[in-house]
Amino acid sequence: MIARLDIKGPNLIKGVHLEGLRVVGDPNEHAIRYYREGADELLFIDIVASLYQRNNLSDIIKRAADQVYVPITVGGGIRSLADVATMMLSGADKVAINTAAIGRPELVGEVAKRYGSQCMVLSVEAKRVAPGKWEAYTDNGRERTGKDVVQWVKEAVDRGAGEVLLTSVDQEGTRKGFDLPLIQQVCAAVNVPVTASGGFGAAEHLAALAGTDLSAVAVADALHWKRMSLNEIKAHARAAGFDVREEVPE
């Protein structure tokens, strides 16, 4: 169970379909709360970094890394090995790369070679373009790439990506459930861990994932607005047959 924190400037924010953003609060306060509640990992995404060609999360990551002891993944605006180095020195364990990887796929292999495949997370923003077909988008779901999601994921894993962060733009923030066909196709195409993001809203949405090879679920909306605690989410996941860490005493 991964707590996802989308960041704009100094604020934790949340939107629907990656748009219509609302300020939630201080990202570090929420990160520490989710860690204490039992999050297995924290995912920080600078949602405007690619637009402005820079990532401003270094200070936020440093503060979080001093107080949490689970893996931290950072994404948004990471365009080079130097950017990866900055994030790693700030306390990140992994980097999630989308826009720059599509712009120059060789970057995937370069990061994997320098820091290991386990560090190189391919971030994918998928939009449905036809039944059973999804296109990869960049710049927080704004820009089309013409790349088929499944084919792009396979290529990136062949280049060295050790993990896939799969965000359904169609489902993101809707609380209507995950894009199950998308998840099934991506999981079937690669043999690395896949994390699904976008759409979680109720216990039955986790139960629907039981037949997939999904490794993790990233949750934002339900946590930020306190609609469900991590303990409750884990209990639902366990009931659905997933192997998850024990709940943290409240």
Q: Please give the DSSP secondary-structure letter assigned to residue 123.
A: E
Pick 240 or 195 by higher pLDDT: 195
Helix (H) and strand (E) counts in the chain: 11, 12
Per-residue confidence band for 52, with pLDDT thresholds at 50, 70 and 90: low
Q: How far is it, in rounded angstroms, from Cα 176 to Cα 179?
A: 9
Q: How confident is the model at residue 249, as a pLDDT? A: 57
Residue 249 lies in a domain: no
State the catalytic residue, choosing from 41, 46, 93, 125.
125
Whether residue 90 lies inside any domain: the answer is yes
CATH number assigned to the domain comprising residue 103: 3.20.20.70
Residue 168 lies in a domain: yes
Statement: residue 131 has pLDDT above 90: yes
Q: Which of 6, 37, 135, 172 is catalytic?
A: 6
Residue 198 scores a pLDDT above 90: yes
- 245 in a structural domain: no
227 in a structural domain: yes
Does residue 209 come out as left (phi exceeding 0), alpha (psi in the -120 to 50 range) or beta?
Answer: alpha
Q: Could you tell me if residue 147 is inside a domain?
A: yes
Asked, for residue 146, whether it belongs to a domain, the answer is: yes
Known catalytic residue at 125: yes
Residue 109 pLDDT? 98
pLDDT in tens, 75-99: 998 999 999 999 999 999 999 999 9
Instruction: Compute how many other C-beta atoms are within 10 angstroms of the C-beta atom of residue 170.
Output: 17
Catalytic (active site) residue 66 = no
Q: Total domain count for the chain?
A: 1
In which band, very low, low, confident or very high, does the pLDDT at 22 lie, cut at 50, 70 and 90? confident
Q: Which pLDDT score is estimated for 173?
A: 82
Report the pLDDT value the prediction gives residue 19, as an integer from 0 to 100.
53
pLDDT for res 24 = 79
Q: What is the mean pLDDT of residues 173-190?
A: 95
Top-confidence residue, 115 or 140: 115
In a domain, 89, yes or no: yes
Q: What phi and psi, each to the nearest 5 degrees, are found at residue 221?
A: -50, -50
Q: Rounded distance, CA 223 to CA 33, Å?
A: 10
Question: Residue 195 pLDDT > 70, yes or no?
Answer: yes
Domain that holds residue 91: 2-239
Asked if pLDDT for residue 17 goes beyond 80, the answer is no
> Would you state the structure tokens that stand for residue 69, as one six-digit string?
């002891």
pTM for the whole structure: 0.93
